């Protein structure tokens, strides 16, 4: 029997709407990541997506990899469907940073980021719960690329500039993209190069 540590394992997941980015604890019988795949003991989500958010989530058994990806050197790109047709002024505000958002009961001012209106809108399958009916007014999509990651940051940023987020999908972390992965799909990766 060898005392050598087992090699670390890494996973790429398209987190569906309605799942918590955690493995333990089950408040009010919520859906957890372990319901999607038989992950090995010690697997952790690298960063989080809230229950209402979808898209790319990396998982690993390597704490150092988790720390690296969560750092400010790795870009995270999100596509946000927002209420209304986003304006050039709102895009400029997002890009400039300095947007005040609440974070852990303290005000936080966002760093400058990359933001652009996505026109035409990206095509994603309908999620399990429809965003809303078209009769409630127009929506538009924006790409936001961050190197920071505060709790519900993208949602707070778009709301602060007057365009609340209706649907949020993370599409890229560093060099890893969501691509054509189906919602709920899990791929094991031999390593994570971000």
pLDDT, position 140: 97
Residue position matching structure tokens 């540590």? 5
Rounded Cα distance between 188 and 194, Å, is 15
Q: Residue range 105-122: average pLDDT?
A: 94
Domains contained in the chain, CATH given: 10-71+179-189 (3.30.70.580), 76-173 (3.30.70.1560)
pLDDT, position 3: 64
Look at the chain and count its residues.
194
pLDDT, position 4: 61
Instruction: Enumerate the active-site residues.
Output: 50
pLDDT, position 25: 73
pLDDT, position 146: 96
Q: What percent of the chain has pLDDT over 90?
A: 68
pLDDT, position 33: 92
Evaluate if residue 2 carries a pLDDT over 70: no
Strands (E), 37-104: 44-46, 54-60, 76-83, 100-103
CA separation, residue 192 to residues 69, 97, 169, 181 (Å)? 9, 29, 20, 17
pLDDT, position 6: 77
Q: Average model confidence (pLDDT) for the chain? A: 91
CA nearest neighbour of 167 among 148, 142, 145: 142
Q: Is 176 exposed, middle or buried (0-12, 13-18, 19+ CB in 10 A)?
A: middle
> What's the pTM?
0.92
List pLDDT tens digits, range 156-177: 999 999 999 999 999 999 999 9
């Amino acid at each position: 029997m060898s005392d050598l540590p087992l090699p670390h394992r890494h996973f790429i997941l398209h987190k569906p709407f309605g799942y918590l980015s955690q493995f333990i604890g089950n408040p009010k019988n919520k859906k957890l990541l372990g319901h999607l795949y038989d992950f090995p003991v010690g697997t952790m989500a690298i960063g989080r997506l809230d229950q209402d958010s979808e898209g790319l989530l990396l998982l690993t058994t390597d704490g150092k990899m988790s720390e690296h990806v969560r750092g400010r050197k790795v870009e995270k790109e999100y596509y946000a469907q927002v209420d209304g047709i986003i304006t050039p002024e709102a895009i400029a505000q997002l890009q400039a940073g300095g947007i005040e958002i609440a974070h852990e009961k303290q005000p936080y001012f966002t760093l400058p980021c990359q933001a652009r209106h996505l026109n035409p809108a990206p095509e994603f399958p309908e999620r399990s719960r429809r965003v809303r009916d078209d009769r409630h007014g127009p929506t538009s999509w924006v790409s936001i690329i961050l190197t920071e990651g505060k709790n519900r940051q993208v949602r707070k940023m778009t709301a602060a500039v007057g365009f609340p987020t209706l649907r949020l999908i993370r599409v890229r972390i560093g060099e890893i993209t969501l691509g054509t992965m189906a919602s709920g799909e899990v791929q094991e990766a031999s390593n994570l190069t971000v």
